[in-house]
Structure 1
Amino acid sequence: METTPPSNPVKKGESSNSSRLLILQGLVPIASHLVSSQLEAFSARLSDALFKLSDQTIRPEEASNSFQAYQLLKRNGTSFYRLVAGQINAALIKEVSTINAKKKLKKAEGPQDFSLVTFDEMESKVLIRNLSQALEVNNAEILVALNIRIGNVLRRTPINIAQNPFRPDVFVHAVYQAWKEFDASPESHHLVLRLLQPALFLQLKPILEEVNEAMIARGILPDISDVYRSKGKGMDVSGNDELDQRDPYLHNKLRSIFSGQPISGNGKRSAGGLAWSGSGGGFAGIGRAPHADTVTIDRQFFNYLTSIQKSGSTGGAGQRSESGDEHGTERAESPLRQISRQAPAESLTEVDQSTIELLARIFDFVFNDPSIPDDIKKLIGQLQIPTLKVALLDKDFFFKESHPARVLIDTLAKTGAQLDAGSTSEDPLYHMIEGVVERVQLEFDEQIDLFSDVVADLEAFLQEEEDKTEEAISQPVEAALKQEKMRLAREFAEHDVAIRVETGEVAGFLETFLQEQWIRILTIAHSVKDKKPHALENALKTMDDLIWSLKSKNSAEERKELVSKLPSMLSLLNAWLNAIKWDEPDRVFFFSKLAERHAAIARAPLELSPRRQVEIAVNIAQRASERRLNRHVQNQIDKHEDEWSQQVELLSRGVWLNFVQQNDSTARYKLAWVSPKRTRYIFTNRQGHDAFSITGEELVDKFRAGLATQIMADSVVDRALIDALRDPAE
């Protein structure tokens, strides 16, 4: 058959929800790279602003705080770069991975209650909001273009600024969070926020422009001038489920079908509206037809459908007789096709016939979906006649994802997939679905709102189960949060040691000690820093003093300082090692080696020859270069993501996975909780029982080995339409 090419082609593999999100995920490295290229200049601007403030302010406390922050940034610029880059990259990944869960934000009703908010918290929120809004104004045009393109990828063009994962607010929060992590002193937090103005902040325009260009290169709305003209540049854009916006190609195909062309045709005439006709008299415009011309429906035929519906004689999950099953066995003809074939020729128009055939294909697709239990397919099958009546009354069923009847089928399919095969008849959810279907069969005539009512009842039932799940997993969540906190504390500890080892000035035996023992101490200190910040300061200072004590002392003053510091330093060192219960023979060996080195430093000549000084400097530089290279290589290995790790990164709460058990059976679990840093995942059954926690790495391994697979969550009607219209039966 002939086909009309889509007006905005989507590349093969980019139509599914997960692949559309992968497109957006691919934009994150682009933005992160451009952020990294600006960090040195941004740090310099912030450093200059801090120094200028310390020099000009008339408040002694502010002068002291700003100068201390200036010195900290000057001495540890590289650490600040890493923190900012890491926070922004993590924030963008999180925003992209959760974009499908974002809804249009409701406008606040009435004044906000700040009675329980401290002044500092309120000031921070105001400063962040003001900076974010200023950056939005400065980059308004490029943000609108980005909103439209991202909305096009998500098939809900356009989105608003609050749904844009690259909005200025994300960058502002990430930079502020990085500074708070960089400088533990609360006094500097508001000070830096007040200094962050658009001219000082990261320059977002080139970042947003490059992201836009990357989307254009993927063929995503190269020309949006028409969208600008029709929508306006200053709008508060929101989601749209009209098919002409989500998929112009499918929209044109449906228009051709409902304008009188056979379902396999390719006409381009506009489709018709709707009016009653026949002996019973009638009226026009039940529902909202999306087109202008008129298509008539025979009242006698409609009443015939009602009689079939009331009798409940179409409960089976029909199959296309012309295709049969995979073994060539012919299956029962679809009830919808039987009606189309047996109806008097004068009672059905070409549009009616095409509507019935298209709907039959949609139900064929549902009945062939392996994720839906057979018992649920039978119940959905009982909705064929009511749905046909809806489709004849209102063609919006095919054009709008939010159509009530379409939402019901999608909800039943998605909800049914949550039931374990073999136990559906005993499940309260099954009985709820059964009651919903029975009500539609008995009560539906022309009031399409009935579908909205039963969907609301079903969603209320599911929400009750969700609330019970939240209670059931409270303890596993608490345990997982503690595990993540210790893991993050370990990562911070490793970073603290790595940046000191990278200098090349740490002796070999001391490097081993820091990486094997002192990291354990720093992990504990980081884990309690919120309650005991001085513990972390003490552990870091003890480590720095230990490293300093083993450097060459080339003056009498330095050696005198070493002798005076050693007793207290060794006392603190032993106290920390007692805390981690390091009582192994290696501890005795370490202190013996330490004493030997200190004695050698005290006995070494005070003046070194120029040649010896050069040798020492070269050795230090070589060690530093080697360690930086090793760390860079390891970072590149750690950052490598295959398709499985990307799939896990995109998982959101509420998705369902099939897990292969030890006896090769399959169990279905819901992702009930994801830790803030996405290091741990908690799965439960539908009632919140049998909860288990798994790390991100373990989950990736299960996906890679085929032991975990995600159940399709996209709209089943949407997928059915694509299947029916883009690859119709011969």
Structure 2
Amino acid sequence: MDTLPVNPQRQHDPSGAPRVQMLQAMVPVAVNLISSQLEAFASRLTQALFKVADQNVRPDEATSSFQTYQLLKRNHSSFYRLAASHLNSALSKEIGVMNTRKRLGEQGNLQDMSLVPFEEMENKILTSNLCKSLELNNADQLVGLNIRIGHVLRRTPIAVSQNPFRPEIFVHAVLDAWQEFDSNSKDSLPLILRLLQPEIFLQLNPVYQGLNDAFVERGIVVDIEGAKRQTKKRMVFTRREDLEASDPYLEHKLRNIFSDQNARKENASLPGFSGAESWGGSGDGMETITVDRQFFDYLTSIQRNAGTPDGVASGMHLREISRHRQSELTHIDQNTIELLARIFDYVFNDPHIPAEIKNLIGQLQIPTLKVALMDKDFFFRDSHPARVLIDTLAKSSVLLGNDASAEDPLYQMIEGVVERVQQEFDLQIDLFSDVVADLENFLREEEKQATTAISEPVQEALKQEKMRLAREFAENDVAIRVETGEVAGFLEEFLRTQWIRILTIAHNVKEEKPNALENALKTMDDLIWSLKPKNSAEERKELVSKLPAMLTLLNAWLNAIKWDEPERVIFFSKLAERHAAIARAPLELSPRRQLEIAVNIAQRASEKRLNRQAQDHVPKESDEWETMVDALESGVWVDFTNQADVTTRYRLAWISPKRTRYIFSSRQGHDSFSVSADELTEKFRCGEAVKVAAHSVVDRALVEALRDPPL
């Protein structure tokens, strides 16, 4: 049989080496930042050793501590060199294993500690505690670093345990350096471990900050806050490593489809799959495989002739090829075709993908089959270029909605991408990466234009959010004064209805006019003071002298908000009566009367505080719709249905900084509208808004394709 040798290891990810090289370039950055700290670190450790030696009441421990102190003090430069060397080696080693699919290091924590000597167990516990403390102290910087490294590797944000610069690496490098530095380290290591608290150990925050800055300088700029929220709220698995987490048997099934060990038995419950013959190697790496040259030529001839018959949008086309050429295909080839057919079945049944785009995606069945035959990593790796293309096309189709038109520039772009793959693809998987890059550049440019188109609505929404926050500040200013119990009832109503409006304006303009807020607050405090009982002639005299200016300011503020209702006349009438009553009151209140007033004030204050606490602590039932709105990210698509039962698809184009306003628009930025978080939540709750699923369609299809069918 004429065969075509293919080595998927060299072809499936041509950009992998540069990405790892970027991580390798970070090693000297980290080592240099650590090296600049080694002297200060050794000094802190030396002082801690001396303190233990000086204060320890046990002679043997004091002697041991002093000897260790002397050793480090006299040979600190040797320790510097060893620490830097061990750190450089450890980081380089970690970078070298970044591309492996599974990390075995985490299994070390599961070992049985019952047979470990107490001293060794204590050392492990102290080391683990130090690592955890350092992770907590540097959590924000570590999260940012995880996201950027994941971006470099074209993965979702990696876990701390996968970060080659995690605190554990620095801790073990220092400990390894110490054991080489001190020939008697068996005795001194427990002492060092007990002293290595985060405040004494290397300060990792500036190291992580420097690494993050270095990534940014190299063009790795990502939305850190958005990525954090996306990771936190993510409801589906989209990484190959997560395949096992969603169903531990799925990857096992996938590997059995392409292996010869117990294949017939494992696949007996999967209709459509044949018993498999061996392919590739063991473990994660795939050895060179061969495919039938004649069969490849046959597929290429179909590919050049538009790939699928007109109107065929299902995996049946692939199954027909399998049946037609069954005698030429190995069991592995047949299983590959069946699995791929199932994936395309799922794509074609996705209700969110317009029929026109399904027809275009259908034309990629043959090129994708050729890729899958020569590179089984297509099924295992979500960043495989051919897999990314199908996902990108599916996500792009969401932008078109159900009214996809051949005149739409995006439709024409998708059509051009499909045509290029049909006409040009043979063995160079790089082509898929090229067309994905072209499509993504087109989408970015379109999004950039849409962002410009909504600039005015964004400014208006920012004003609305600013005013809302100002209102909250104003309400709090009034509440803390009312809670004292010293505010008369009619004045409390005035403050809550009218003066809040004034304070809202003052808070809103405080950056431009800070004196306005100060003036409004002082006028409110003077008004409250003017209605408090006056127990002496001096206080009454002060009231009489302040009233004219206070009333003038009060009227000026009320004129600013144009409060001209009859209630204003009634309010000033009550105010004048209260002021007159205070002025006519006996010069000296009796102790009994003063006590009654104080008790009444305390009672009112207590009631006000209890009422507010009760309101603040009213249990709020969790609402899935509020959670979903809080998890929304810019760029998601939502179908809105109006009262006429007409559904229109809009993109979430912008979210205000405090997430109180959301702006939606069409793909080009037209027909934009703004809604509050509460309004949007209610639309989702009553079904007037429905989020369009846009996560990896191939991931979902693969999971579905590998599940056991009902018996």
Q: TM-score range by the shorter chain?
A: 0.5 to 0.7
Match of 1:140 among 131, 134, 141: 134
Q: Does 1:252 align with 2:255?
A: no
CA contact (8 A) 1:273 1:289 kept: no
Match of 2:298 among 301, 304, 309: 304
Question: Which residue in 1 is equivalent to 2:158?
Answer: 158
Match of 2:647 among 656, 666, 683: 666
- Identity across aligned pairs (percent)? 65
CA shift at 1:316, angstroms? 5.6
* Superposition TM-score, scaled by structure 1 size: 0.62
| Distance in structure 2 (CA, Å) of the matches to 1:561 and 1:246 | 77
CA contact (8 A) 1:659 1:708 kept: yes
Secondary structure of 1:503's partner?
Answer: coil
Question: Which residue in 1 is equivalent to 2:193?
Answer: none
CA shift at 1:271, angstroms? 10
Matches within 5 A, 1:475-624: 475-624=456-605
The amino acid across from 2:302 in the alignment is I
* Further displaced range: 333-342 or 441-450: 333-342
Match of 1:344 among 326, 350, 374: 326
Match of 2:352 among 371, 375, 380: 371
| Distance in structure 2 (CA, Å) of the matches to 1:593 and 1:315 | 87
Question: Which residue in 2 is equivalent to 1:382?
Answer: 363
Cα root mean square deviation, aligned: 3.5
CA contact (8 A) 2:291 2:373 kept: yes
CA contact (8 A) 2:339 2:705 kept: yes
CA shift at 1:678, angstroms? 1.3
CA shift at 1:641, angstroms? 4.7
Sort the Cα spacing of 1:707 and 1:303 in 2 relative to 1 into closer, same or farther, 3 A. Answer: same
| Distance in structure 1 (CA, Å) of the matches to 2:481 and 2:243 | 53
| Distance in structure 1 (CA, Å) of the matches to 2:277 and 2:610 | 65
Sort the Cα spacing of 1:580 and 1:623 in 2 relative to 1 into closer, same or farther, 3 A. Answer: same
* Further displaced range: 564-573 or 379-388: 564-573
Matches within 5 A, 1:75-474: 139-142=133-136, 156=156, 158-159=158-159, 243-244=240-241, 247-248=244-245, 249=248, 250-260=250-260, 261=263, 264=267, 274=280, 290-292=284-286, 296-315=290-309, 334-345=316-327, 347-474=328-455
* Superposition TM-score, scaled by structure 2 size: 0.64
- 1:367-415 CA distance string (max 9 Å, x none): 0110110000000000011111111111221111111111110010011
Sort the Cα spacing of 1:334 and 1:316 in 2 relative to 1 into closer, same or farther, 3 A. Answer: farther
| Distance in structure 2 (CA, Å) of the matches to 1:486 and 1:403 | 48
| Largest Rg, 1 or 2 | 2
CA contact (8 A) 1:256 1:271 kept: no
CA shift at 1:580, angstroms? 1.0
| Distance in structure 2 (CA, Å) of the matches to 1:318 and 1:617 | 86
- 1:7-44 CA distance string (max 9 Å, x none): xxxxxxxxxxxxxxxxxxxxxxxxxxxxxxxxxxxxxx
Between the two structures, name the one with larger relative contact order (CA 8 Å, sep ≥ 6): 2
Sort the Cα spacing of 1:438 and 1:138 in 2 relative to 1 into closer, same or farther, 3 A. Answer: closer
CA contact (8 A) 2:313 2:358 kept: no
Match of 2:670 among 689, 700, 706: 689
Sort the Cα spacing of 1:529 and 1:707 in 2 relative to 1 into closer, same or farther, 3 A. Answer: same
| Distance in structure 1 (CA, Å) of the matches to 2:637 and 2:480 | 41
The amino acid across from 1:703 in the alignment is F
| Distance in structure 2 (CA, Å) of the matches to 1:243 and 1:563 | 79
CA shift at 1:614, angstroms? 3.9
CA contact (8 A) 2:388 2:436 kept: yes
- 1:596-618 CA distance string (max 9 Å, x none): 11122222234444544443333
Matches within 5 A, 1:69-80: none
Secondary structure of 2:496's partner?
Answer: helix
CA contact (8 A) 1:272 1:293 kept: no
| Distance in structure 1 (CA, Å) of the matches to 2:477 and 2:653 | 34
CA contact (8 A) 1:317 1:381 kept: no
Sort the Cα spacing of 1:244 and 1:271 in 2 relative to 1 into closer, same or farther, 3 A. Answer: farther
| Distance in structure 1 (CA, Å) of the matches to 2:521 and 2:159 | 47
The amino acid across from 2:358 in the alignment is K
CA contact (8 A) 1:658 1:710 kept: yes
Secondary structure of 1:335's partner?
Answer: helix
| Distance in structure 2 (CA, Å) of the matches to 1:470 and 1:162 | 36
The amino acid across from 1:724 in the alignment is A
Secondary structure of 1:447's partner?
Answer: coil
- 1:543-599 CA distance string (max 9 Å, x none): 111111111222233222222221211111111111111122211111111111112
The amino acid across from 1:682 in the alignment is I
CA contact (8 A) 1:367 1:377 kept: yes
Secondary structure of 2:675's partner?
Answer: strand
Sort the Cα spacing of 1:445 and 1:293 in 2 relative to 1 into closer, same or farther, 3 A. Answer: closer
Unaligned runs of 5+ in 2: 1-129, 168-197, 200-236
CA contact (8 A) 1:404 1:448 kept: yes
Sort the Cα spacing of 1:425 and 1:722 in 2 relative to 1 into closer, same or farther, 3 A. Answer: same
Unaligned runs of 5+ in 1: 1-135, 168-197, 200-239, 276-287, 321-332
Number of matched pairs:
495
Sort the Cα spacing of 1:611 and 1:640 in 2 relative to 1 into closer, same or farther, 3 A. Answer: farther
Secondary structure of 1:420's partner?
Answer: helix
Sort the Cα spacing of 1:423 and 1:362 in 2 relative to 1 into closer, same or farther, 3 A. Answer: closer
The amino acid across from 2:448 in the alignment is D
CA contact (8 A) 2:238 2:695 kept: no
CA contact (8 A) 2:312 2:359 kept: no
Secondary structure of 1:426's partner?
Answer: coil
The amino acid across from 2:563 in the alignment is W
- 1:674-715 CA distance string (max 9 Å, x none): 111111111111111111111111111111110000000210
CA shift at 1:718, angstroms? 0.8
Sort the Cα spacing of 1:640 and 1:624 in 2 relative to 1 into closer, same or farther, 3 A. Answer: farther
CA contact (8 A) 2:474 2:504 kept: yes
CA contact (8 A) 1:484 1:675 kept: yes
CA contact (8 A) 2:356 2:404 kept: no
| Distance in structure 2 (CA, Å) of the matches to 1:454 and 1:374 | 22
Sort the Cα spacing of 1:612 and 1:319 in 2 relative to 1 into closer, same or farther, 3 A. Answer: same
Question: Which residue in 2 is equivalent to 1:234?
Answer: none
CA contact (8 A) 2:371 2:378 kept: yes
CA contact (8 A) 1:680 1:696 kept: yes
Sort the Cα spacing of 1:265 and 1:558 in 2 relative to 1 into closer, same or farther, 3 A. Answer: farther
Question: Which residue in 2 is equivalent to 1:176?
Answer: none
CA contact (8 A) 1:242 1:399 kept: no
Sort the Cα spacing of 1:139 and 1:316 in 2 relative to 1 into closer, same or farther, 3 A. Answer: farther
CA contact (8 A) 1:143 1:161 kept: no
- 1:245-285 CA distance string (max 9 Å, x none): 56352333322222143684699x9996549xxxxxxxxxx
Q: Does 1:698 align with 2:679?
A: yes
| Distance in structure 2 (CA, Å) of the matches to 1:389 and 1:595 | 91
| Distance in structure 2 (CA, Å) of the matches to 1:678 and 1:387 | 41
The amino acid across from 2:240 in the alignment is L
